[in-house]
């Protein structure tokens, strides 16, 4: 998604001369064009992420909405207090951009993974976390972030394109429901592609992709699907605690939707204590195509 | 005499509230008097050592942003005057501060914004010397030098006492002038209770816009003006009882009319 991200940032910078971009010394082979074209508003803040978030808050206070870019764990965990205090409680227009959320950095290892980022950020005041699932989502997310003006987190991953044209919104209905669905699957982030693959040839399952945490929208399509199936499977590249499944359970309870069955597939860390690609970690956590297919066969 | 008048009010504020953070407010009160005397109306002072909020509230009361009535709500339920400055209430408190090491990066961002905006105003940040233990100090310091933020004035309240010991016995003098100079700051050391010297040092910073950010290391006395509090770490924490309050007021008279 870095390519789409850089292209959209370029467009936004062209139309708004107040925007500022800060990077924690990262962006090789992606951000060079923005760096050279907007040198006065592109700041390499060095390998100093906490300071970078403080800087962004000061810039935003002075009228410059800012993007803060790093690898997801460095952008989130190192800077959590700065995000909470300097950005969120003042409701400043600062967007934390975490590249490679979840297991996105694969074999780079645990230092470079972020599977608790949404649990850390989504409870913070005024914060909206954006988790594009497809490359096409990135543009929509950035438009929303700039329009909404408050604190935001954009979790970028390795994107794929939409398998078919769909209406892009806060909840993407990726595959249309059949008349009598038996299961509603709700995913977040690029792991959706495993659900799409697992659902090839399956005609009685609805699939949705949730773009934000907290859940900003609960569309009639999603509500109708759950009312009809009373059977929900969440697939998320995030720990069980504080992610989509927990947010969703609270929402379903408030909406008074009855469920017969609720299951969640989450990131499970490093169960075999070995490391590999994103696909490898998906398989280890049971987020892979086969695990989803097995669930479909038995439920 | 502003130093005496504001100290009297400060002691009353803390006595009425029955709370601590008296000595660290007394150590930086003169720095705030100097800063608010020198800054332009639209310029901002970032009190990064947020535990001295009482001193800041008094300054804002002095310039008319906080009423006498509101000042009496300090520490009470329902107040806007929490023990550390809180967010979104006052023009001259642009950020909630109290977790050390946040103000300097924020002020650097504000100074950088002014450079982008070609705005000639200055940004001031007041830190404690213990606060310079924080790693963000040195992240921000290098950033300020690399970005030629000569519109940024850092003032350090160097009273040589921190949370649980003297600075020498904890991490050493992390606020030492030579450290700032080595990075590329325009560094000055002054007596932090001499208003004239403070004002002159601020003026020197403003006149020397040659690309280097500025640091004024203000040598101060924790508890300045109250004899039994001076250089005593415990008065970072303790509230005064009635007798102590009376003695503190008497001490002020002795020090400032001597």
Mutate to test the interface with A, among B46, B87, B105 (most CBs of A within 10 A): B105
Percent of chain A scoring above 70 in pLDDT: 98
Average pLDDT over residues A138-150: 96
Residue A230 pLDDT: 97
For the cut 90, the answer to whether the pLDDT of residue A285 exceeds it is yes
Q: Report the C-alpha gap between A144 and A211 in whole angstroms.
A: 11
For the cut 80, the answer to whether the pLDDT of residue A250 exceeds it is yes
Q: Report the C-alpha gap between A229 and A239 in whole angstroms.
A: 25
Strand-pair category, A128-130 with A212-213: antiparallel
Contact B52, B222 (CB under 8 A): no
Q: What is the CATH number of the domain that holds B120?
A: 3.40.50.970
Q: Report the C-alpha gap between B36 and B54 in whole angstroms.
A: 15
- Give me B135's structure tokens: 């790693």
Confidence label for A163 from pLDDT (cuts 50, 70 and 90):
confident
DSSP annotation of B213 reads: -
Q: Nearest by CB to A41, from B94, B116, B140: name it.
A: B116
Range of the domain at B171: 2-257
Q: With an 8 Å Cβ cutoff, are B109 and A89 in contact?
A: no
Number of domains in chain B: 1
Task: Name the packing angle between helices A49-61 and B135-146 (round to 10°).
Answer: 60
- Please enumerate residues of A whose Cβ is less than 8 A from a Cβ of B: 20, 40-41, 43, 45-46, 48, 50-64, 81-82, 85-86, 89-91
Query: B167-198 pLDDT, tens per residue?
Result: 999 999 999 999 999 999 999 999 999 999 99
More confident residue, A166 or A84: A84
Q: With an 8 Å Cβ cutoff, are B106 and A48 in contact?
A: no
Contact B125, B104 (CB under 8 A): yes
Residue A159 pLDDT: 81
Chain A residues near residue B142 by CB distance under 8 angstroms: 46, 48
Query: What structural domains does chain A harbor?
Result: 2-156 (3.40.50.970), 171-298 (3.40.50.920)
Give the position of tokens 């720095």. Answer: B31
Residue B111 pLDDT: 98
Residue A161 pLDDT: 83
Average pLDDT over residues A145-167: 88
Furthest CA-CA distance within chain B: 54
Average pLDDT score over chain A: 95
How near does any CA of chain A get to the CA of B117, in Å? 9
Contact B183, B142 (CB under 8 A): yes
Residue A171 pLDDT: 80
Residue A176 pLDDT: 58
Q: With an 8 Å Cβ cutoff, are B106 and A43 in contact?
A: no
Q: Nearest by CB to B106, from A45, A46, A54: name it.
A: A54
Average pLDDT over residues A18-43: 95
Chain A residues near residue B96 by CB distance under 8 angstroms: 85, 89-90
How near does any CA of chain A get to the CA of B14, in Å? 26
For the cut 80, the answer to whether the pLDDT of residue A168 exceeds it is no
B99 touches chain A (CB under 8 A): yes
User: What does the DSSP assignment read for A42-55?
Assistant: EEE--S-HHHHHHH
Percent of chain A scoring above 90 in pLDDT: 89
Q: Nearest by CB to B106, from A40, A45, A57: name it.
A: A57
Confidence label for A158 from pLDDT (cuts 50, 70 and 90):
confident
Confidence label for A167 from pLDDT (cuts 50, 70 and 90):
low
Q: With an 8 Å Cβ cutoff, are B136 and A54 in contact?
A: yes
Query: A52-80 pLDDT, tens per residue?
Result: 999 999 999 999 999 999 999 999 999 99
Q: Report the C-alpha gap between A133 and A83 in whole angstroms.
A: 24
Query: A219: burial class by Cβ within 10 Å (0-12, 13-18, 19+)?
Result: middle
Q: What are phi and psi of A20, to 5 degrees?
A: -125, 145
Residue B208 pLDDT: 78
Q: Report the C-alpha gap between A128 and A151 in whole angstroms.
A: 7
Q: What are phi and psi of B161, to 5 degrees?
A: -125, 135
Q: Report the C-alpha gap between A12 and A9 in whole angstroms.
A: 5
Residue A214 pLDDT: 97
Query: B50-85 pLDDT, tens per residue?
Result: 999 999 999 999 999 999 999 999 999 999 999 999
Q: With an 8 Å Cβ cutoff, are B96 and A48 in contact?
A: no
Q: With an 8 Å Cβ cutoff, are B143 and A48 in contact?
A: yes
Nearest alpha-carbon partner for B96 in B106, B105, B104, B86: B86
Query: A174-207 pLDDT, tens per residue?
Result: 765 667 899 999 999 999 999 999 999 998 999 9
Helices (H), B86-162: 103-116, 135-146
Query: A201: burial class by Cβ within 10 Å (0-12, 13-18, 19+)?
Result: exposed
Q: Nearest by CB to B113, from A62, A85, A86: name it.
A: A62
Q: With an 8 Å Cβ cutoff, are A61 and B113 in contact?
A: yes
Query: A14: burial class by Cβ within 10 Å (0-12, 13-18, 19+)?
Result: exposed
Q: With an 8 Å Cβ cutoff, are B143 and A58 in contact?
A: no
* Ranges of chain B whose pLDDT falls below 50: none
Q: Report the C-alpha gap between A22 and A18 in whole angstroms.
A: 13
């Amino acid at each position: 998604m870095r390519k789409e991200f850089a292209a959209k940032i370029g467009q936004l910078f062209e139309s708004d001369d107040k925007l500022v971009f800060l990077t924690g010394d990262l962006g090789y082979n992606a951000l060079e064009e923005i760096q050279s074209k907007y040198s006065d508003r592109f700041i390499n803040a060095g390998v100093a992420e906490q300071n970078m978030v403080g800087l962004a808050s000061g810039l935003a206070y002075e009228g410059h909405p800012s993007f803060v870019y790093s690898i997801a764990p460095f952008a989130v965990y190192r800077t959590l207090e700065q995000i909470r205090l300097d950005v969120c409680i003042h409701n400043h227009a600062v967007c934390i951009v975490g590249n490679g959320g979840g297991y996105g950095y694969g074999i780079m290892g645990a230092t470079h993974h972020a599977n608790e980022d949404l649990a850390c950020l989504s409870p913070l005041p005024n914060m909206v976390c954006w988790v594009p699932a497809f490359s096409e989502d990135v543009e929509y997310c950035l438009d929303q972030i700039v329009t909404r003006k408050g604190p935001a987190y954009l979790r970028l991953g390795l994107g794929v394109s939409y398998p078919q044209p769909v209406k892009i919104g806060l909840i993407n209905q990726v595959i249309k429901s059949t008349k009598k669905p038996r299961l509603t699957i709700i995913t977040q982030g690029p792991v959706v592609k495993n659900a799409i693959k697992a659902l090839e040839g399956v005609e009685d399952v609805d699939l949705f992709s949730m773009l934000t945490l907290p859940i900003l929208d609960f569309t009639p399509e999603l509500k109708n699907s759950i009312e009809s199936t009373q059977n929900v499977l969440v697939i998320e590249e995030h720990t069980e605690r504080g992610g989509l499944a927990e947010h969703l359970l609270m929402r379903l309870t408030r909406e008074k939707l009855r469920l017969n069955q609720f299951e969640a597939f989450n990131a499970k860390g490093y169960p075999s204590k070995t490391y590999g690609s994103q696909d490898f970690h998906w398989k280890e956590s049971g987020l892979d195509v086969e695990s989803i297919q097995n669930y479909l066969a038995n439920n | 005499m502003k130093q005496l008048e504001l100290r009297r009010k400060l002691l009353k504020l803390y006595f009425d509230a029955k709370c601590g953070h008296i000595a660290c407010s007394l150590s930086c009160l003169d720095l705030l008097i100097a800063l608010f005397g020198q800054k332009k109306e639209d310029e901002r002072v970032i009190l990064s050592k947020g535990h001295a909020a009482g001193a800041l509230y008094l300054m804002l009361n002095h310039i008319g942003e906080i009423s006498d009535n509101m000042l009496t709500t300090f520490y009470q339920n329902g107040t806007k005057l929490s023990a550390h400055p809180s967010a979104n209430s006052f023009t001259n408190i642009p950020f909630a501060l109290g977790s050390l090491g946040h103000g300097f990066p924020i002020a650097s961002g504000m100074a950088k914004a002014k450079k982008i905006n070609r705005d000639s105003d200055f940004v001031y940040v007041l830190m404690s010397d213990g606060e310079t233990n924080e790693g963000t100090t040195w992240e921000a310091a290098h950033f300020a030098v690399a970005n030629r933020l000569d519109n940024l004035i850092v003032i350090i309240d160097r009273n040589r006492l921190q949370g649980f010991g003297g600075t020498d016995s904890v991490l050493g003098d992390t606020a030492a002038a030579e450290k700032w100079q080595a990075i590329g700051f325009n560094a000055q050391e002054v007596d932090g209770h001499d208003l004239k010297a403070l004002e002159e040092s601020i003026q020197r910073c403003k006149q020397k816009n040659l690309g280097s950010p500025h640091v004024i290391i203000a040598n101060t006395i924790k508890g300045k003006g109250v004899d039994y509090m001076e250089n005593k770490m415990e008065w970072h924490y303790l509230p005064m009882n009635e007798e102590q309050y009376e003695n503190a007021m008497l001490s002020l008279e002795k020090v400032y009319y001597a």
